[in-house]
Structures are given as C-alpha cells and as structure tokens.
A and B are shown apart, each in its own frame.
Chain A
C-alpha cells in the first residue's frame, strides 16, 4: 500500500491556491442565499384573502432569495393568542408573528424594535392614528408594524329601510357615499331615541352585553364618548367619577331597548341578528354584511356602514389594529424587517384590502381612501365611510387611555360591560363603582 506524502511546500501552495480561488471566484447566489424566514399570520376569515398575503410574501422571497414558510393561525378559540404566549415562553418560533391589539405591549420585552422601518413608512404612507400609537409603541420604541390584515373598525352597520321606517333616520343622507358626513345630529341622544323606536317596531338594535370583544368595544366607545375613564393614562383608578355615573345611566336606558338575552351574546350573535333580519343596527366591521351578501342578499342590500354617534366628550369608534412583530430571538431580523417593509407598501396594502373585500383597514392616513371602499356593494358605497376617510370620529379602543398592560386586563375581563349589566340588573350605582374599583385595583399588578 503506497502512501503519498504531502510536503510542506505542497501544503502551502495548495492552501494559497484554494484561498485565491475562494476570494476571486464570483459570488454565486443560491436559491435561498439570504436564509430562512418563518411567519405566523392571522388566518383571514374571508376566503381567498390569505392568498394575497402569500403572493406578496412569495414575490418578495423570490426577489430577496429567502426561503419562506407561512403559517396561517386562526383566532378561533384564541389559537393565535395561545401561540403568542407559547412562543414567548419557549423563546422560539416564528420570526414574524401577527399580534392583535394588546399583545405587542404584553410581550414588549421580547420584541425587536422596528423604528428603523416604521419611521420611513410613516413618512411615505402618512401618520398612524392615536390608537395604533397607543398599542404599538412603548416610549419611543415601535413594537410592531401595523398590519392592515385583520385591522378593523367596529362601527354601526344599519339597515337603511328599518332606520328610515322606525327611527325616521336616513343613514345614507347622514353618511353619503363619496362625500363628507353630515352627522351633526347623530348624537348619543338620537341613538337612544332610535334604539327605542326600533325596539317598539320589533327590530331592536343588536348590541351585545357579553364578555367578548364586540360587546366590550361598543361599550368602550360609549364610555369614551362620555369622557368616562375608569383608569387614567398614569394608571390611577378613577372609576368613581360623574362621567362614569352618566354613561352607566345612559347604558341602563339603552339596555332596556336591546334584546333581553344580550348579556349572553358572543361575537357571532350580532352577526346572526343582522343577517336574520331581526334588527335595525349592529356594531361590527363589514363581516356581517359580507355574510348577508352571501346568505341573505335582500338584507345586505339594505346595509350601510357608518360612524358612531357623538357624545358629550366627542365621537369615538372602536379600532382594533393587528401588528406584525418580530421576536428579538428571531434568527433573521433583517429579512423580517425587509418583508414587513414590502408588505407595508401602498400597492401591497391595496392588494390585501381588495382581497378582503374592504374588511382590512390600513392604519396609515394616506391609505384610507382606496377605491375598494367606494366601489363595494350592494348597495354601492356601503363601505365608503368604513375606513373613516374624513377623520370624522376618533379611532379608539375600549379601556384606553389606561396603560396598555392594565387596559388589557380591563378589556379581557370585560369590566366595563359587567359594570353596565350589574347596574342595569338593579345594583346600586355606588356598589357597582365599588366593585369596579376593587377589580381595577387588582389589575395594577406588575
């Protein structure tokens, strides 16, 4: 058996040649030269809407040579929230994860700041509303990029015919398609009178009083319209104030005109209420209308999505943004940020909004007047005022302006709704307030 001996000279020469070849050879980019990126997006309920996101991601991946993998995670059964909690505990998971409303703050310590992409995006697409700042920013740190997918306003969706017939209100005239609202008379008092009239007419407003988000969002907007803060922005419990007493009195009157089983409603109940033709108004994004378009077209063509009534302290509408956040344990942060920039371009946003039939709302100021909302129907223009194109109402979230980690507790425990139900069911005002004070003090844990 012969054994070839490598001399020192041969070794040096071979090493030098190999190094030279490595340095001088042209950089060959493989199919996935820029690594891998995984993302967990919200599973859209609109058929085909996920495809728009997939196409946009693939388009970016092909250009940037990144291997991508997308999981669409449903919010049914809070699967998305469980995933967030699990990945936060494991410190492992997707690079990008879609986080609803309160979750960027809840996981703020584990999120990569995205100021470097948010600032140029704001310059390009316009400012974001106050609620997006409140939920997406901690001090100067942006915790995520507002995702248009899943973001929604839960404003009134009224039946044109029933509101005209029983409440003598022409919602199309109040919120005309293509022009600014003429809704100065659309006040909380008018709303109450309309609720009473429709109740008498046998088509009550379908507003839930349960513990799920639709009920909580609606009551929250009314609390804000009356200036009723239960915890202030500094985290002080301020529930025992006259504005809270006033809104509780108001809601007590309103509840008398709502369906008697409203305390048991969940987020599907109001949709069913509208689609079945039982009620004249619900508070919802256009999902109920979209279902009606499929299942009860005669109802859908009478639906009109519009703004909230104005209260003593202003006009507020619930806005629930989703965010795309990058974990600080992500292995490909730069690629993640590059993708988020791509998804936040006006053309990408328009593509996703169109795919959702106008349901998804961009958070950026310059992107609230896309053609899709003017064109969707029947009736044509039914969604024109859905994205709040004239900044007619202040976009807000229930339990704000309490610090987000406290507000999240108020929101998930449905404290505001419970206060209304307790007071309505005959509990003394001061007892309800004392109960709420005890609950709120418990939410101050850090």
Chain B
C-alpha cells in the first residue's frame, strides 16, 4: 500500500474520532482542546496532500488562535454544557444523511487525488504561475524578458490554453501544442505525468506541479487570478473586526484594566517571552513576505504576528499591551490593511491597467511588478488579519474584567 494513502487513512480515522469526541464530550473545556487537536490533525492531512499553505493556515488559525479565543469565551459562559435530554430527532437525522449523501455524490465527479489530467494542472494554473514568477524557463524566479519580447502581447495574453483536456494523461503532445501556442513567450512548468520526482522522499507522492516547493501556485492564484476573492475575504475579516467593536466595546469605566493574575512576576516567563517575541514577529513578517514565492501569505503571517501581541498581553497584562498598541491605533491599522489592498488595485488602474493588474507596477519588468503588487497586497492582508485577531482578544478579555 502506498505510504501516503496509509498515513492519510490513519489521520482521517483520528480526525473522525476527534470529531465524534467533540460532539460527545460534556465539558466545554475538553471540547475546545479537542477542536485544537482536530485542527492540528487536519493540518497534518494537508501536509500529506502537499498543500502547505492550507496546512499552515489550519495550524496557525485553527490550532493556535481559535483555541485561545474559545477558551477566552469559556471564561464567560462556564465550563460545562447544560445537560440536555438526548433523543432521536428524525427530521434532523434524515436531513443530515441526505446532505452527507449529496456531498459524497459530489465527490464522485472530482478528479482523483494527484491526477495529472485534473483541470487544475492544465487550465490556466501553469500559465498563471509562469506569469507570476516572471519568465520561467526551467528556473523559477524573476528574470529579464528575452530579446525581442513583445510586452503588449504579454499583457493581452490571459493564460488560456486552447484545446480539450487530453483523455490520456501521458499525452505530452497536447502540452507541447499549448506551449507552442504561447509562441515561446511563456513556458509553463508542466511536469510530464510519467516523469518521476527528482527529489528524495517524494517518490511515493503523485506528481504535482510544484512538488511541495517553490514556485507556489497557491499565492499566484489567490493574489493574482483570484485577487478579487482574496480582497473580499480580507474585507470580511475587516467587517468581523468592526462588528465586534460595535457589539462589545463599551465606554471605559474606572479599573477596566485591572489585571487578574499577572504572570510577569515569573522570571522564566518574562525572560522567555521577551526572547521569543522578536523571533515570532520576524517569522510573521517572513511568512507574509515569503507568501509571494513559497508557502505562506498574509492570512497565516497576520495570525502569527497577532500571537506575538497576545503572548505579550498574556504575560505582561493588557495595560502593557494597550501602551504598545492603543485601541485607536489597532482600529486604524485594521482599516489600513484593506486600504492597502484596494489601493494597490486602484494604483494599477491609475497606471492604465485593470484593477489589481500588478504587472502595471513595473512596466519594464511585468513579472517584477506582479511580485511587488502581490507583496503589497499580502502585507495589507497581514495587517488587517493581525489587528482583527488582536481586537477579538482584547474585547473578550475586556468583557471578562468589567
């Protein structure tokens, strides 16, 4: 049996067991911790499927910050679930079974895992990646355009591969045709289906486009091809933060910053926190900046940045955190992130392109402009996400002390 499938099966069994346990367990504390475990297990499943970005987000958001926020909520609502009479609710059971059956029926239409003939490996994605990382010719990265390069034509090129998806995945002639159609301007990095993986440790894995390494197709897709989606995802998070402020923030009363038990008189905690916060911040910025080329991006990096602030508040108290990031500043930064994202799009329009057409940012080197735009946009996402996470934490904690 393929080791990847074996690990996947084991992990998914554990995931199912955890999900059942979350429903069954009476203590809300236990179920919050189990939710964290569920996220970590899912992160492992994603790693096993080579989707590092999703795994990263799952670990940072699901395993990390959600657990903190859930436990913060438990302080208000109590540890135990109210006892309820358990009886069979037939309409609910029927509805759940039908939904489950419909979902399973839907998966039958999906391509097999790692299928080289899957549309994602042919339709737009290879060209998108080639556009994003510049002029890929075997080596990923930003390179100067070749001699006699027709910039206008490059701009007009929207990455369409004409022709049907080949029935036979080993049919490389179709790929060569599609490459020829772009007249050698962009050479998509499409791995032939039968070509084995070069790197050790990957030989058991089905072939995919990026083999777990750069260039990262996810960010190219999220920030360029699906730039609108990602912008509105950021706006959703922004809206969540604003709603939370409107719902929970109250006028400050005397003593609203009274700390419970402050941990800062513990030398070990103080020293280790002070030592680790700079590294957490650097790692957060690294993840955001790296998102342009590798696994990472604004959402994950933003959450990592937020954990640094939350750790500071946990150890030194929220009064200290408010001195570092006063609520007006965090509110302003929440909006600033969305402004950076949409502003980048608007600048591209002012320079004569379409909204979020990053290649306009550097007309000499479109690939360079793409990565500059994406980095800007990722920073916008990161700022908004981290500040919203911080606001959620602050509001929950403030609620407790008033």
Instruction: Say whether A associates with B.
Output: no
Residues in A lying within 8 Å of B, measured CB to CB: none
